[in-house]
Amino acid sequence: MQDEITVKPLVDILSLQLGKQVVMSGTDYVLLDDNSAISQDVVDVALGEQTAEFLQRIEDAKPNSITKIQAMRAMKQTGTLWTDFNTLISSNVDAMDEWTLATALERNNPFVLQLAPTLGMTATSIDDLFLLGSTL
Protein backbone atom coordinates (compact mmCIF):
# COMPACT_ATOMS: atom_id res chain seq x y z
CA MET A 1 0.00 0.00 0.00
CA GLN A 2 1.30 3.45 -0.91
CA ASP A 3 2.10 5.91 1.86
CA GLU A 4 -0.43 8.71 2.17
CA ILE A 5 0.82 12.03 0.83
CA THR A 6 0.23 14.80 3.34
CA VAL A 7 1.19 18.45 3.55
CA LYS A 8 1.33 21.00 6.34
CA PRO A 9 -2.00 22.61 7.23
CA LEU A 10 -2.36 26.14 5.91
CA VAL A 11 -2.52 27.55 9.46
CA ASP A 12 0.92 26.03 10.14
CA ILE A 13 2.39 27.56 6.98
CA LEU A 14 0.90 30.94 7.83
CA SER A 15 2.19 30.68 11.42
CA LEU A 16 5.71 29.97 10.12
CA GLN A 17 5.54 32.82 7.61
CA LEU A 18 4.23 35.36 10.12
CA GLY A 19 6.12 34.16 13.19
CA LYS A 20 2.88 34.14 15.18
CA GLN A 21 0.23 31.50 15.88
CA VAL A 22 -2.52 31.57 13.24
CA VAL A 23 -5.90 29.89 13.73
CA MET A 24 -9.19 29.63 11.86
CA SER A 25 -12.10 31.78 12.95
CA GLY A 26 -15.07 30.71 10.89
CA THR A 27 -13.73 30.88 7.35
CA ASP A 28 -11.03 33.45 8.14
CA TYR A 29 -7.42 33.02 9.16
CA VAL A 30 -6.60 35.17 12.19
CA LEU A 31 -3.74 35.80 14.57
CA LEU A 32 -4.38 33.98 17.84
CA ASP A 33 -3.04 36.73 20.07
CA ASP A 34 -5.30 39.57 18.88
CA ASN A 35 -7.82 37.90 16.53
CA SER A 36 -6.77 40.19 13.65
CA ALA A 37 -7.54 38.86 10.18
CA ILE A 38 -4.81 37.74 7.81
CA SER A 39 -5.05 39.44 4.41
CA GLN A 40 -6.07 37.35 1.42
CA ASP A 41 -2.75 38.17 -0.29
CA VAL A 42 -0.83 36.55 2.58
CA VAL A 43 -3.18 33.54 2.54
CA ASP A 44 -2.71 33.20 -1.23
CA VAL A 45 1.10 33.09 -0.83
CA ALA A 46 0.78 30.40 1.84
CA LEU A 47 -1.68 28.47 -0.32
CA GLY A 48 0.79 28.60 -3.21
CA GLU A 49 3.50 27.23 -0.93
CA GLN A 50 1.18 24.46 0.29
CA THR A 51 0.26 23.55 -3.30
CA ALA A 52 3.92 23.50 -4.38
CA GLU A 53 4.78 21.23 -1.44
CA PHE A 54 1.93 18.87 -2.33
CA LEU A 55 2.95 18.70 -5.99
CA GLN A 56 6.57 18.03 -5.02
CA ARG A 57 5.51 15.18 -2.73
CA ILE A 58 3.47 13.65 -5.55
CA GLU A 59 6.49 13.94 -7.85
CA ASP A 60 8.74 12.36 -5.22
CA ALA A 61 6.28 9.48 -4.77
CA LYS A 62 6.49 8.44 -8.42
CA PRO A 63 8.55 5.28 -8.72
CA ASN A 64 11.53 5.48 -11.06
CA SER A 65 11.69 1.72 -11.45
CA ILE A 66 9.39 -1.30 -11.30
CA THR A 67 10.13 -4.97 -11.81
CA LYS A 68 9.29 -6.64 -15.08
CA ILE A 69 6.53 -8.67 -13.41
CA GLN A 70 5.04 -5.48 -11.94
CA ALA A 71 5.10 -3.90 -15.40
CA MET A 72 3.42 -6.95 -16.94
CA ARG A 73 0.70 -7.02 -14.26
CA ALA A 74 0.08 -3.29 -14.61
CA MET A 75 -0.17 -3.54 -18.41
CA LYS A 76 -2.63 -6.43 -18.10
CA GLN A 77 -4.85 -4.24 -15.90
CA THR A 78 -4.90 -1.36 -18.39
CA GLY A 79 -7.09 -2.63 -21.21
CA THR A 80 -5.27 -3.87 -24.28
CA LEU A 81 -1.86 -2.45 -23.37
CA TRP A 82 -0.30 -5.86 -22.62
CA THR A 83 -1.52 -7.28 -25.95
CA ASP A 84 -0.40 -4.19 -27.86
CA PHE A 85 2.97 -4.27 -26.09
CA ASN A 86 3.56 -7.92 -27.00
CA THR A 87 2.60 -7.30 -30.61
CA LEU A 88 5.00 -4.36 -30.79
CA ILE A 89 8.02 -6.05 -29.22
CA SER A 90 7.53 -9.29 -31.20
CA SER A 91 8.13 -7.30 -34.38
CA ASN A 92 11.22 -5.50 -33.05
CA VAL A 93 14.32 -7.59 -32.23
CA ASP A 94 15.96 -4.83 -30.18
CA ALA A 95 12.80 -4.28 -28.14
CA MET A 96 12.40 -8.03 -27.61
CA ASP A 97 16.00 -8.30 -26.40
CA GLU A 98 15.54 -5.34 -24.07
CA TRP A 99 12.36 -6.79 -22.56
CA THR A 100 13.71 -10.36 -22.35
CA LEU A 101 16.96 -9.35 -20.64
CA ALA A 102 15.46 -6.75 -18.31
CA THR A 103 14.79 -7.52 -14.66
CA ALA A 104 13.34 -4.06 -14.05
CA LEU A 105 12.06 -1.15 -16.09
CA GLU A 106 13.42 2.31 -15.45
CA ARG A 107 10.94 5.16 -15.98
CA ASN A 108 13.37 7.16 -18.12
CA ASN A 109 14.94 4.23 -19.97
CA PRO A 110 15.19 4.93 -23.71
CA PHE A 111 13.38 1.62 -24.35
CA VAL A 112 10.36 2.82 -22.36
CA LEU A 113 10.46 6.32 -23.83
CA GLN A 114 10.76 4.99 -27.39
CA LEU A 115 7.93 2.45 -27.16
CA ALA A 116 5.48 4.57 -25.18
CA PRO A 117 4.30 6.88 -28.00
CA THR A 118 3.83 3.90 -30.31
CA LEU A 119 1.56 2.40 -27.65
CA GLY A 120 -0.35 5.68 -27.37
CA MET A 121 1.12 6.48 -23.96
CA THR A 122 1.83 9.96 -22.64
CA ALA A 123 4.20 10.95 -19.83
CA THR A 124 1.18 10.92 -17.51
CA SER A 125 0.05 7.45 -18.56
CA ILE A 126 3.61 6.17 -18.08
CA ASP A 127 3.61 7.66 -14.57
CA ASP A 128 0.23 6.02 -13.93
CA LEU A 129 1.52 2.65 -15.16
CA PHE A 130 4.59 2.87 -12.91
CA LEU A 131 2.45 3.94 -9.93
CA LEU A 132 0.07 1.04 -10.52
CA GLY A 133 2.95 -1.38 -11.06
CA SER A 134 4.60 -0.33 -7.81
CA THR A 135 1.48 -1.49 -5.93
CA LEU A 136 1.37 -4.93 -7.52
Instruction: Give the pLDDT confidence of 16-29 residue by residue, as tens digits.
Output: 889 999 999 988 99
- Average pLDDT on 91-99 reads 88
pLDDT band at 114 (very low <50, low <70, confident <90, very high): confident
pLDDT band at 5 (very low <50, low <70, confident <90, very high): low
Average pLDDT along the chain = 88
- 28 strand-pairing partners: 25
Helices (H), 1-136: 10-18, 40-61, 68-77, 81-90, 93-101, 110-118, 123-134
**CA–CA gap between residue 12 and residue 55 (Å, rounded):** 18
Q: According to the model, what pLDDT value does residue 4 have? A: 65
What percent of the chain is modeled with pLDDT above 70? 96
